[in-house]
Structure 1
Amino acid sequence: MSRGSKGGRHTLRRRLVVITELAVLVLLLSASAAHAETTQVLALAGSVDQVLTNIRNWVMGILAGLATVFLSIGGVRYVMGGGDPGEVEKAKTSFKAAGMGYALAALAPLVVTVLQGIVGA
C-alpha cells in the first residue's frame, strides 16, 4: 500500500465524520425549529413542586439526548478511525462525555429534591 492511499483514506474518513456530525446537528436544529413553531401553552403549573418536576424532566431529557449524540459521534469516530491513535482518543473522549451526560441525567432527580428542600416545596 502506498502512502498516498493511506492519506486518501484518512481524508475520506475525516470527511465522513464531519458530514455525520453536520447531519446530526442539522437534524437536531430542524427538530427544535419544528417544535418551536407548534409550541402552545397547554397548562400553567399549579405549584412550585410542579415547576421543579417539569424542570427535572426537561433537564433529564436534554442531558440524555446530548449524551446519546456524543455516544453516536464517539462510535462513528471509533469505527471510522481505523486504528488511528488520534481518532481513537477523540472517540474515547466522546464516550467519556456521553457517560458524564448520562450520569448527570440520572442525578437530576436528586438535584430537584435538594432544590425542593431549599425552596420548601
Structure 2
Amino acid sequence: MSRTPLRTLLRQPAARAALRVAVPAAGLALTLALPVAAHADPGAAVDLAANSLPAVITNLRMWIMGILAALATLFLVLAGVYWATAGGDPSQVEKAKLALRNALVGYGLAVLAPVLLQVVRGIVGG
C-alpha cells in the first residue's frame, strides 16, 4: 500500500463524500452517547417567600450606606493623591478640592441614608 498525502486524498470525490457522511454521523453518535439531562424532583418544595417591606428597606439602607461610604472613601483617596501631586499647580489643587468636596457629600449622604429611607418607609406605609 502506498502512502497518499491527505491533500491528494481529499481531492477525490469519493473521499469527500465519505467525509460528508462520516462527520455528521459521528456528531449524532456522540450526541446520543451523552447522558440524558437531569430533571428536578417535582415533589420537592421550593420556598420562594419574599422578605417583608421593612426587611427589604433595611437591606436597601445597608447597601446604600455601604456603596456611598465606599465611593466617598474613593474620592477622599483621590483628593489626597491630587493634593500630594499638585506641586503648586492651581488646576490640580482645584481638582483636589473638588474631589474632597465630593467625598464630604458622599459621607454626608451615607450618614443621612437611614433618615431618607425612614421617610420612604413612612410614605409607603412600612
TM over 0.5: yes
Provide TM-score, normalisation by structure 1.
0.62
The unaligned stretches of length 5 or more in structure 2 are 1-47
What SS does the corresponding residue of 2:107 show, helix, strand or coil? helix
Aligned residue pairs total 79
1:31-110 aligned at under 5 Å gives the runs: 45-110=50-115
Q: Which amino acid aligns with 1:55?
A: L
The structure that is helix-richer by fraction is 1
Query: What is the Cα deviation at residue 94 of structure 1?
Result: 0.2
Query: What is the Cα deviation at residue 44 of structure 1?
Result: 6.1
Query: What is the Cα deviation at residue 45 of structure 1?
Result: 4.9
Computed over aligned residues only, the root mean square deviation of the Cα atoms, in angstroms, reads 1.4
The unaligned stretches of length 5 or more in structure 1 are 1-42
Change (3 A) 1:58 1:81: same
Q: Which amino acid aligns with 1:116?
A: R
Query: What is the Cα deviation at residue 119 of structure 1?
Result: 1.2
> Which protein has the larger Cα radius of gyration, Structure 1 or Structure 2?
2
Provide TM-score, normalisation by structure 2.
0.60
Q: Which amino acid aligns with 1:81?
A: A
Q: Which amino acid aligns with 2:78?
A: I
Query: What is the Cα deviation at residue 82 of structure 1?
Result: 1.0
Q: Which of residues 83, 94, 119 in structure 2 aligns to 1:114?
A: 119
Runs of 4 or more above 4 Å deviation: none
Q: Which amino acid aligns with 2:103?
A: A
State the structure with bigger RCO (CA 8 A, min sep 6), 1 or 2: 1
